[in-house]
Amino acid sequence: MQLTLPQNPTICLQPRYLDKESKALCLQIFQQHSYDPKPLQKYLNSLRLISIDNAPCVYLNSKDQLQTFKSNNALCLALQKHLTKEQK
């Protein structure tokens, strides 16, 4: 997983299916922004919404601007921080 998650971070969007170590790695790569952003950008552009465990996290509004949802999920907060920076 240490090689897979940074290359395909979309796996982290369903942490309930991951073991404890994989969840921790997901949080680490989102916080350190040490993942390939292209899969997440492609996911966001196609679905216009990124949810983590079915809780909305970020979305593209009708003007293709990145918007965030209030969340207390650590994965979502870390993702919001870096996706917001990438879009500016």
For the chain, the domains span 4-87
Q: What pTM value is reported for the model? A: 0.88
Q: 10 Å Cβ neighbour count for 29?
A: 20
Pick from 75, 70, 60: nearest CA to 22: 75
pLDDT at residue 59 in the model = 96
pLDDT at residue 32 in the model = 95
Task: Give the length of the chain.
Answer: 88
pLDDT at 53 over 70: yes
In whole angstroms, give the CA distance from residue 2 to residue 48. 27
Per the DSSP assignment, residues forming a β-bridge with 56 are 51
Q: Exposed (0-12), middle (13-18) or buried (19+): which is 45, by Cβ within 10 Å?
A: exposed
Average pLDDT on 38-63 reads 94
